[in-house]
């Protein structure tokens, strides 16, 4: 087991960071999802050995990362903040980080060059970090996290402020790291960023884990939350008229250029919808299920939490 | 990954020291430090032209004033900014003991400050009283720089956001005034002991005592800094 979090809580004075979190991580890419201030960074910093739990325990590879110096050799951490040592070039920065992570002095420069190349920074590696764009800073941070070839990567908001092209590129590179056998934890408050990386998520809100697992499994847990199907078509009223009386349809909402159907039985609803479209010759331009998007799950889960509070 | 080598403490200190030097050399702080330290030379020239360049007492007082500013400027700002701007997260997430980060910074900043302090003192002595500085006075300044740097490190770990101004205020409004008082409280003053160690104005018999006092003050502030840095969470 890479990470075991057992009834772990963290307070900053009277402010709650995370509360009574229990969670285990075996491998692969896992997305930590939650709004700003939810406790994602606190959890990541505890896993990186920067914070110690106020209560409970947290181990990485069986050791406490705060107290056990050696286990941090196996961890690669890219913090959320942008600040680095701007006076250094990217190569100098990554080389220093590699050396401090235990890469032998004569290998450190080579390891830094490889890490920067992996992040697409070869052309800029001799430039000082001071002049870098946000995307280049993020890539450099990721290079500092991977230069010592860690087993476990903690990437705190690695896509924040990155332009769409760079985002696609960074996502692909993170996926490659996971494919190479690394365990990767990525945090974000932006749903589609996580979704583009993994379907394995942990939803955090107000310091608590609201749900974890595959996004589809999480969806199953939400039994009171009807499944939604959005149909963009030329005659939404015909579809509504046909499905309005079906017992599996909970609600129908007209939207611009289409209709949103909420159903308690998605399989039956998809069958009925297909039948209506064929029978009436309706032209469907798009069919989507917002519930397959993390956004719907997150909104529902956090809404539930607020409702309970 | 197969090799889980953890860097040795000395190796880490050397790496941090090299990093600190690179950042210092490329930043503005070094040049500001050079300017402040070298103010002693025109001051010596001014004292000499006023016809009062005999003992060098004015010079050592002025040198102590620069010591109140330059080491805090280097050490407190280096440590305080690192904590405040959270770049320590890069260092403390590595497999290195936290004290090595402190030691690495001091390993660069203390010698650089000693060179500035002793260099400007030597030049000032040549320009003012027109004699080379005594080895005792140079050693006294070196010891003083070390002790003030430890104090600055301690304060920076306690109050990272305002480490530099607080360290300078400590020196200007606590250390220097109590050092000038003829009471036992002056034993707590770094500048008092530096003044004694120069051997220029006080009985040489008190020098070992001053050296011991500086060593104790270094140890106390060093302990504060290490205790605090081990507990800090960023």
Same domain, A35 and A66: yes
Q: Kindly report the nearest CA distance between residue B96 and chain A, in angstroms.
A: 6
Shared domain for A199 and A303, answered yes or no, is no
Contacts of A198 (CB under 8 A, 6+ apart): A28, A29, A30, A31, A186
Domain range enclosing A250: 222-308
H or E element that contains B148: helix B135-158
Indicate if A245 and A302 belong to the same structural domain: yes
Residues A236 and A196 in one domain: no
**Partner A, chain B 96-155, Cβ-Cβ below 8 Å:** 96-97
Mode of pairing for the β-strands spanning A55-60 and A3-12: antiparallel
The confidence score (pLDDT) of residue B3 equals: 59
Domain end marker among A162, A194, A220: A220
Tell whether the model's pLDDT for residue B204 goes beyond 70.
no
Nearest one of B106, B180, B112 to B149, comparing CA atoms: B106
B232 touches chain A (CB under 8 A): no
For residue B146, give Cα distances in angstroms to A191, A287, B76, B111, B226: 52, 72, 13, 9, 16
Between A70, A97, A149, which is nearest B6 by CB? A70
Interface probe, candidates B1, B77, B84, B93, chain A, greatest A C-beta count within 10 A: B93
Q: Which pLDDT score, from 0 to 100, does residue A290 have?
A: 72
- Of B18, B19, B93, nearest to A77 by CB-CB distance is B93
Note the pLDDT of residue A123. Answer: 95
Averaged pLDDT for residues B133-160:
95
Q: What is the pLDDT of residues B124-145, one digit of tens each?
A: 999 988 889 999 999 999 999 9
Q: How far is A134 from chain B (nearest CA, A)?
A: 16
CATH of the domain at A292: 3.30.70.100
- How deeply is B28 buried, as exposed, middle or buried, from its count of CB atoms within 10 A (0-12, 13-18, 19+)? exposed
- Among A118, A122, A140, smallest CA distance to A131 is for A140
| CB pairs A-B closer than 8 Å | 89
Domain boundary residue among A220, A235, A265?
Answer: A220
Give residue A53's pLDDT.
Answer: 94
| DSSP string for residues in B159-221 | SGGGHHHHHHHHIIIIIHHHHHSSSGGGGG-HHHHHHHHT-SSS-GGGHHHHHHHHHHHHHHH
Q: Could you tell me which residues of chain A have a Cβ less than 8 Å from any Cβ in chain B?
A: 45, 48-52, 69-75, 77, 79, 81, 83-85, 87-88, 92, 96-97, 99-105, 144, 149-151
Share of chain B above pLDDT 70, in %: 95
Q: What is the pTM of this model?
A: 0.82
Mean pLDDT along residues B147-163: 96
DSSP states along B69-115: HHHHHHHHHHHHHHHHTTTHHHHHTSSS-HHHHHHHHHHHHHHHHHH
Measured distance CA(A149)–CA(A126) in Å, rounded: 22
A104 contacts in chain B (CB < 8 Å): 5
Residue extents of the structural domains in chain B: 9-231
- The DSSP letter of residue B54 is S
Tell me the pLDDT band of B2, cut-offs 50, 70 and 90. Answer: very low
Please count the CA atoms within 13 angstroms of the CA of A183 that sit on its side-chain side.
14
Q: What angle do CA A294, A297, A300 make, to 5 degrees?
A: 145
A8 & A156 share domain: yes
The pLDDT-based confidence of B225 (bands split at 50, 70, 90) is very high
Residues of A in contact with B93 (CB under 8 A): 48-50, 72, 75, 77, 79
pLDDT, tens digit, 9 for 90 and up, residues B17-63: 999 999 999 999 999 999 999 999 999 999 888 877 666 788 999 99
A35 shares a domain with A128: yes
Please determine, for the modelled complex, whether the ipTM score is greater than 0.90. Answer: no
A96: exposed, middle or buried (Cβ count in 10 Å: 0-12, 13-18, 19+): buried
- Do A78 and A27 touch, CB atoms closer than 8 A? no
Is residue A210 located within the same domain as residue A257? no
**Residue A18, min C-alpha distance to chain B (Å):** 15
Share of chain B above pLDDT 90, in %: 75
Point out the residues of chain A with pLDDT beneath 70.
218-225, 291-299, 301-309
Residues A104 and A247 both lie in one domain:
no
pLDDT for residue B11:
94
**Which of A78, A192, A225, A231 minimizes the C-alpha distance to A142?**
A78
Distance of alpha carbon B47 from alpha carbon A117, whole angstroms: 60
B4 contact residues in A (CB cutoff 8 A): 70, 73-74, 102
| Structure token pair of residue B230 | 């081990």
């Amino acid at each position: 087991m890479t990470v075991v979090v057992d009834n772990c809580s963290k307070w900053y004075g009277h402010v709650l960071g995370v509360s009574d979190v229990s969670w285990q991580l075996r491998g692969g890419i896992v997305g930590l999802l939650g709004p700003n201030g939810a406790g994602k960074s606190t959890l990541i910093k505890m896993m990186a050995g920067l914070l110690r739990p106020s209560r409970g325990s947290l181990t990485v590879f069986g050791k406490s990362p705060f107290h056990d110096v050696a286990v941090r050799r196996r961890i690669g951490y890219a913090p959320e903040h942008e600040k680095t040592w701007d006076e250094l070039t990217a190569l100098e920065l990554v080389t220093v980080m590699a050396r401090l992570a235990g890469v032998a002095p004569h290998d450190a420069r080579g390891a830094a060059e490889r890490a920067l190349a992996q992040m697409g920074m070869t052309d800029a590696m001799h430039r000082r970090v001071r002049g870098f764009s946000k995307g280049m800073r993020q890539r450099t941070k990721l290079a500092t996290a991977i230069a010592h070839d860690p087993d476990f990567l903690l990437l705190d908001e690695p896509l924040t402020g990155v332009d769409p092209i760079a985002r696609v590129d960074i996502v692909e590179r993170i996926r490659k790291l996971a494919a190479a056998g690394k365990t990767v934890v990525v945090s974000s408050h932006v749903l589609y960023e996580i979704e583009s990386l993994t379907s394995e998520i942990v939803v955090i809100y107000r310091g608590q884990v609201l749900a974890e697992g595959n996004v589809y499994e999480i969806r199953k847990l939400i039994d009171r939350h009807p499944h939604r199907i959005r149909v963009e078509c030329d005659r939404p009223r015909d579809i509504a008229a046909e499905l309005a009386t079906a017992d599996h349809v909970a609600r129908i909402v007209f939207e611009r250029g289409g209709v949103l159907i909420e159903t308690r039985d998605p399989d039956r609803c998809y069958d009925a919808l297909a039948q209506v479209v064929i029978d009436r010759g309706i032209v469907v331009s798009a069919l989507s299920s917002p519930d397959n998007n993390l956004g719907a799950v997150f909104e529902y889960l956090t809404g539930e939490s607020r409702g309970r509070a | 990954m197969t090799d889980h080598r953890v860097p040795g403490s000395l190796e880490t200190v050397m790496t941090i020291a090299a990093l600190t030097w690179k950042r210092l050399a490329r930043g503005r702080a070094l040049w500001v430090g050079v300017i402040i330290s070298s103010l002693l030379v025109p001051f010596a020239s001014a004292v000499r032209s006023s016809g009062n360049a005999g003992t060098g007492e004015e010079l050592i007082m002025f040198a102590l004033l620069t010591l109140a500013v330059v080491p805090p400027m280097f050490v407190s700002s280096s440590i305080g900014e690192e904590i405040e701007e959270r770049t320590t997260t890069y260092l403390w997430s590595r497999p290195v003991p936290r004290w090595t980060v402190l030691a690495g910074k001091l390993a660069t900043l203390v010698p650089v400050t000693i060179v500035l302090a002793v260099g400007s003192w030597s030049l000032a002595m040549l320009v003012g009283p027109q004699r080379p500085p005594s080895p005792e006075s140079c050693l006294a300044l070196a010891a003083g720089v070390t002790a003030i740097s430890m104090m600055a490190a301690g304060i920076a770990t306690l109050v990272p956001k305002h480490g530099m101004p607080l360290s300078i205020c400590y020196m200007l409004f606590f250390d220097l005034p109590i050092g000038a008082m003829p009471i036992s409280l002056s034993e707590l003053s770094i500048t008092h002991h530096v003044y004694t160690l120069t051997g220029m104005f006080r009985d040489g018999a008190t020098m070992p005592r001053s050296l011991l006092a500086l060593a104790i003050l270094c140890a106390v502030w060093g302990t504060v800094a290490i205790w605090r840095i081990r507990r800090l969470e960023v």
